[in-house]
């Protein structure tokens, strides 16, 4: 997905591109398991904006922070404005 905001501080997705991506996934027999984005200067935790706009409660939200010397990856479920940390297994 492209960041329709073209900003390092926020992101949004165009509805048309969301539809295209879901159609492509369906054709390939894929399903949405995670949504990833990065925080260039903020912690690896969903921001109030992320929480407010989260609309896939069955999906893991991966937030990569690049604020420190080492990248930090957080993994969460966001449902009804509640954030639940998930255990991430990286390969
Ligand atoms: Zn965020």
- 24 C-alpha vs ligand 1 centroid, how far in Å? 25
pLDDT of 55 > 80? The answer is yes
Pairing type for strands 60-65 and 34-39 reads parallel
- 20 C-alpha vs ligand 1 centroid, how far in Å? 23
CA-to-CA distance for 85 and 83, rounded, in angstroms? 7
Q: Work out the average pLDDT over 60-78.
A: 95
| CATH fold of the domain at 32-85 | Cytidine Deaminase; domain 2 (3.40.140)
- 25 C-alpha vs ligand 1 centroid, how far in Å? 24
DSSP string, 11-80: ----HHHHHHHHHHHHHHT----EEEEEESSS-SS--HHHHHH---TTSEEEEEE-SSSS-EEEEEEEET
CA-to-CA distance for 80 and 82, rounded, in angstroms? 5
- 51 C-alpha vs ligand 1 centroid, how far in Å? 8
Mind listing the pLDDT tens digit for each residue in 16-46? Answer: 999 999 999 999 999 999 999 999 999 999 9
- 38 C-alpha vs ligand 1 centroid, how far in Å? 7
């Amino acid at each position: 997905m492209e960041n329709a905001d073209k900003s390092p501080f926020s992101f949004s997705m165009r509805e048309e591109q969301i539809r295209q991506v879901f159609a492509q996934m369906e054709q390939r027999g894929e399903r949405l398991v995670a949504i990833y984005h990065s925080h260039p200067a903020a912690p690896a935790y969903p921001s109030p904006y992320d929480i407010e706009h989260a609309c896939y409660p069955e999906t893991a939200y991966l937030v990569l922070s690049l604020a420190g010397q080492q990248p930090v990856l957080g993994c969460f479920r966001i449902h009804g404005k509640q954030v639940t940390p998930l255990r991430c297994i990286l390969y």
